[in-house]
Structure 1
Amino acid sequence: MGRLIKRIQFVVGVALCLFCLDSTCQIDKESFEAFKAIIPQENIVLQANTNTILAGETLFYKLYCLSSTGKLSLASKIGYVELIGANKKNLFKHKLQLNKGLANGDFFIPPNIETGHYKLVAYTKWMNNNSANPFFQSDVYIINPFIPNDDSFENKELYADNLKEIKKTIPTVLQKNTDIKLETNKKVYKFRENVEITMSSLLGESNYGNYSVSVRKLDLIGVTDHNSNNKVDNYDEIKYLPEIRGEVISGQVLSKSNNKIVADMIVALSIPGSHYIYKNVKTDQRGKFYFNIHENYNDSEVIIQVLDKNKGDYNILLDDSSFKYADQLKYAKIKVNENTKDWLLKQSIHNQIESAYHNAKRDSIVFRSPNTMFYGNPTVKYFLDDYTRFPSVKETFVEIIAEAAVRKSGDNFSFKVYNYEELRNNVFKEYNPLVLFDGILIQNNLDVLDYDSNKIESVSVVRGIYFNGPSIFNGIIDIKTKKSDFKLPKNREAFGFLNLDAIKENKIYYNPIYTSEVSKLNRIPDYRSQLLWEPNLFFNSNSSTINFYTSDVKGVFEITLEGYSNAGKYIISKMYFEVGN
């Protein structure tokens, strides 16, 4: 597969150089067919902890990106998950880093969400090219007893399950698939008692794979019919590049004077911040540019600009990356039966108590390593707090920065980096340095020369000739503010802007441990209905165990193990246990 990925990357590079008359697509049809010959078609499967959920609860999900063989796909590195309402508005759009075809996430249902039918959709950009199945969808029904939705009282009906029928099955194991057997150390548990689940493979190594485990109280409500039709009536003919290294941001440069495409123009991208991202590329023969973002970043405003002294003469048009099929999703109105009123009230009170103690039950965020500077280590770095402060950037360079300077020529000012002795007569000696302010490319030096230096943390200088993408710079000047909050001047017509949401962070979900009678948790109420959500269970032995604790909620709880074996076989196992006081 490593050889395949290298081949894919090579074909991507070639495809970006090809000419295409259709300026609305990322790639032309000929290149797209070449991709299809070597990259397997992808299919997303999304597993959620429930399809019926109350406001104040959390929706958990696990994403599997599968190839046409049914095994996990290694092609796409970015997946997208959205929850869309009948009004076509997004409750959320998550961008996920796919790790060998796997990802997971969660969404807290806020108290201002109306009762209704929603669609959980998932896709990769490469999957969007499949006319028969461009995305995955499933139904989610949200109930909010505090915001009535009087016009949604027909068609779908939420009803009370017959708990007596479920209780009859305890302690019998109910499984849709018996390949992996589930057993608990007891059948009935007390409040805050340890539960141990033993998972046994009945078919040996053939069941080894990646699974999710959900332990959730059986709801009194369900949906009579929650099957979705994935058929698309109007397929979007736009062809998308596979995101095989990271997120692709693309667009086109046009001349303002005649609206013609501009080829061979260097375009720069900045994602500002303390650990910023800076890249530049050159437009192809149809004026298209492509940035591949594989580094970590926070939610940010992306800044794109043309590297040219007349940068204001060009328009930057960014490609639309939004979900194209929201208008084709079909919804039904739902009705909540009166006999669930008391249960809804009780459950909502439990959710409010859990919300009140949220700070004591926080999930842990998995730390992501900050980006290293693209230029490596600077020649020298000045921390301005170590020096006498001067009012402006210009004066700071005159009085403090020995390796660089500000030069005046007529009415213009320019930065200069003093090069090494052996490079002073180099053919690139007249080239300008790359000047960055919190990662934002500075082309008009007047924008920063009078900037208040008291807001600056450090100035780094890189000496020597630096090749960055298609650009050549005579040194680098990297200025960072204390708060990473530098803003461009108000005249922003020469720039392209894009609000970019960060990759959703990975979490270790809260799982209390009641091991001591004097535990500090004893004084904290515990009304969890979701006792466990483990999205990454790597089952690689014939038997494995997992532990968790019950809460202060009594009732029947369902254990669901679900996922795919390494061979691509779908497996689901279920069993039930009871919690009493």
Structure 2
Amino acid sequence: MLISTKQIAAQQEVSLNETLFIHANATTFVSGETLLYKIYCLKSTDKTPSAISKIAYTELVDSNSNVIFKNKLRLNNSTAAGDYFIPTTIKTGNYKLIGYTAWTLNSSVSKIFQIDIKIINPYEVNETNTADKNSSIKTTEEKAVVLTASPINKENLLDQNFKINLNKKNFSNREKVVLEIASLSSAEKGNYSLSVRKIDNLTFAQQLTASEFSKNTASIETLKTKEKLILPELRGETISGKIIPKDNSTSIQNINVALSITGKSFAFKVVKTDQVGHFIFNLDKNYTGNETVLQVLGEQKESFTIELDKATEPEYSKLSFQPSFRLPIEFKETLLERSIASQIENAYYLNKTDSLVKPEKIDPFYSPIAKEYNLNDFTRFPTLKETIIEIATAASYKQNGGNYSLHVVDYSTKFQSPEPALVIVDGLLLQNVNELFTYNMNNVRSINVLTGGYYVGPKVFNGIISIITEDGNYTSPQKENYILKPALLRPSLKKSYYKTDYTDTTKYERIPDFRSQLLWNPEIDLSNGKPITFFTSDLSGTYEISLEGFTEKGNPVSIKDFIEIKDSSAN
């Protein structure tokens, strides 16, 4: 059982056994670089994968409690990966990368996983004259810690069950590296992430490793349900809110509310409000749509407006930040090198972009029982009227003056219900279908018709007429009070991170390669025994290989090794 409860003195106690661990590619960044990270959602007690939450959140927060970015991530096998490009609009200072789920927000902010991040903006204009005249980067506060250079730590981090084997330790520019994670016992399945990144004296802090994190085995925290609990997102993404009546005498209970996430893989769901007019939608699939639309259904729909619940977030005012800092002149050369490298890499980003992983196609909720009319299989007609009469004969329309309604024709029964059908276009519910009768049917790919009563949630519809456009981006001009089109934060799409291949040495010989991040793979599989390959860049120096993760049994894996890259042109 995921969440255990027991009755105590007329109130219940709920067990909170979930925590997060984040592996980031670095803790210090210069403007123009990219923060990469992987989230592990684990049980607090034994660090095995947690099956409770299906959605996780990451936020970068500054020392004034301002949220710089927020990512919403769908957990797959209790893990997710994300990234954030550091723009030149962010000021030099201390930040925190925070990871949480809705369920872990029931705990104190001190228990929410956080990584201290330093960002250096070399393009920032000095805002004070109180800093040291020799400082290359200055903060706005008078009392700031002057950071001192620390030697590069090349100490290997070993693991009792796994070992990093390299084809060699010293490489030249654009040379192939063969890396193998060898199992010293039996290979265990698990979740792992691998980073290969250049290190220098701007690395001021080491992040917590999985092994160190695992030593802090926590007891299960008990929460009293008499207090207000933040519910976990057990089945997937949650969208919730309430309806507000224009007249206080209007009942707000048992009112149908519909959710449409439009697109080629669309979502359409209907729920009823509770006694206080509240509703909750659970999206159990990875719907990636163009627009989110909520609507009140029924004859009284115009008596209501819709308001979404405010997203619950950690109490940032209780976060403890490191003191502000200044960089002395000795960091100038390193800072200049990293700044130039990021500018060159970003100038050639078209050749080195990460790619979005195409999301899995989600069949419509009525599939496969609806009859599909693919309009490309017929002689096309310009209007919906003609198309219904000549092609989609299982549908019909009625006209009353300037108003239209759409119905289904069920030839298997003599009784035909006068109620209109559920009409959706690319998943968007249309309660007023008049606009379809002036819509250019050349934009429509297919019409799907389902006869008979059909339940969507608590609501029964008299058949379904689903219109699919060619581009899947239909937008209705309707702007009614009972319709809400919120700008929601949706889960980020999964990425396949860029990996250079210099097997053909002539292919990119005229394109500079100033990558400091040689490899980032948040989905390492150690059970298949296959070697991992990547190529070095044009930047010489010391590179850290960092593997973090957890086995299925909750055993932490933290390994570090190093390689040297020397400028081949100097030989």
Q: Equivalent residue of 2:366, what SS?
A: coil
Alignment check: 8 A CA contact 2:150 2:204 kept: no
Alignment check: 8 A CA contact 2:410 2:451 kept: yes
1:333 is the counterpart of 2:324: yes
Alignment check: 8 A CA contact 1:296 1:370 kept: no
1:571 is the counterpart of 2:547: no
1:451 deviation in Å? 3.5
Which residue identity is paired with 2:375? F
1:82 is the counterpart of 2:59: yes
- Show CA shifts across 1:124-164 (max 9, x none): 1111122475632221111121123535254344433324x
1:190 is the counterpart of 2:177: no
More moved, 528-537 vs 378-387? 378-387
Q: Equivalent residue of 1:521, what SS?
A: coil
Aligned to 2:212: none
Alignment check: 8 A CA contact 2:180 2:531 kept: yes
TM-score (norm 2): 0.85
Q: Distance in 2 between matches of 1:289 and 1:362?
A: 40
Q: Distance in 2 between matches of 1:32 and 1:300?
A: 43
Aligned to 1:383: 375
Aligned to 2:502: 514
Aligned to 2:48: 71
Aligned to 2:157: 175
- Show CA shifts across 1:288-347 (max 9, x none): 221111233336431111111220101322111242423333444221222111221122
1:411 deviation in Å? 6.5
Alignment check: 8 A CA contact 1:123 1:134 kept: no
Q: Equivalent residue of 1:498, what SS?
A: coil
More moved, 488-497 vs 174-183? 174-183
More moved, 140-149 vs 70-79? 140-149
1:159 is the counterpart of 2:148: yes
Alignment check: 8 A CA contact 2:54 2:78 kept: yes
Aligned to 1:307: 297
Aligned to 1:22: none
- Show CA shifts across 1:414-470 (max 9, x none): 212111323x327xx243210112322111233443334454443332223222211
1:488 deviation in Å? 3.2
Q: Within 5 A, what are the aligned runs for 1:290-439?
A: 290-298=280-288, 300-331=290-321, 332-377=323-368, 378-383=370-375, 386-390=378-382, 392-394=383-385, 396-397=387-388, 400-409=391-400, 412-422=403-413, 424-425=414-415, 429-439=417-427
Change in 2 beyond 3 A, CA 1:544/1:160: farther
Q: Distance in 2 between matches of 1:410 and 1:272?
A: 30
Alignment check: 8 A CA contact 1:115 1:148 kept: no
Alignment check: 8 A CA contact 2:357 2:494 kept: yes
Q: Distance in 1 between matches of 2:387 and 2:187?
A: 67
1:117 deviation in Å? 1.7
Aligned to 1:138: 115
Q: Equivalent residue of 1:352, what SS?
A: helix
1:286 deviation in Å? 3.1
Alignment check: 8 A CA contact 1:431 1:472 kept: no
Alignment check: 8 A CA contact 2:373 2:448 kept: yes
4+ long deviations beyond 4 Å: 29-34, 176-179, 224-227, 235-238, 409-412
Q: Distance in 1 between matches of 2:314 and 2:205?
A: 29
Aligned to 1:213: 194
1:272 is the counterpart of 2:262: yes
Q: Equivalent residue of 1:269, what SS?
A: strand
RMSD, matched Cα:
3.2
Q: Distance in 2 between matches of 1:371 and 1:206?
A: 35
1:43 is the counterpart of 2:19: yes
Alignment check: 8 A CA contact 2:109 2:318 kept: no
Alignment check: 8 A CA contact 1:156 1:224 kept: no
Change in 2 beyond 3 A, CA 1:30/1:442: farther
Q: Equivalent residue of 2:508, what SS?
A: helix
Aligned to 1:546: 532
- Show CA shifts across 1:13-63 (max 9, x none): xxxxxxxxxxxxxxxx999947x35xx521011110101011111111111
1:399 deviation in Å? 5.7
Q: Distance in 2 between matches of 1:109 and 1:260?
A: 50
Q: Distance in 2 between matches of 1:404 and 1:516?
A: 58
Aligned to 1:285: 275
Alignment check: 8 A CA contact 2:266 2:289 kept: no
1:270 deviation in Å? 0.5
Q: Distance in 1 between matches of 2:145 and 2:207?
A: 9
Which residue identity is paired with 2:41? C
1:244 is the counterpart of 2:234: yes
Q: Distance in 2 between matches of 1:269 and 1:31?
A: 37
- Show CA shifts across 1:203-236 (max 9, x none): x248753222211111221336989xx9xxxx99
Alignment check: 8 A CA contact 1:77 1:245 kept: yes
Alignment check: 8 A CA contact 2:22 2:37 kept: yes
- Show CA shifts across 1:228-265 (max 9, x none): xx9xxxx9965222212210111222322018761111
For these two proteins, the number of residue pairs brought into alignment is: 535
1:110 deviation in Å? 2.2
Change in 2 beyond 3 A, CA 1:521/1:489: closer
Q: Distance in 2 between matches of 1:371 and 1:176?
A: 43
Q: Distance in 1 between matches of 2:87 and 2:474?
A: 33
More moved, 330-339 vs 482-491? 482-491
1:106 deviation in Å? 1.6
Alignment check: 8 A CA contact 1:436 1:442 kept: yes
Name structure 1 gaps, 5 residues minimum: 12-28
Alignment check: 8 A CA contact 2:105 2:313 kept: no
Which residue identity is paired with 1:160? A
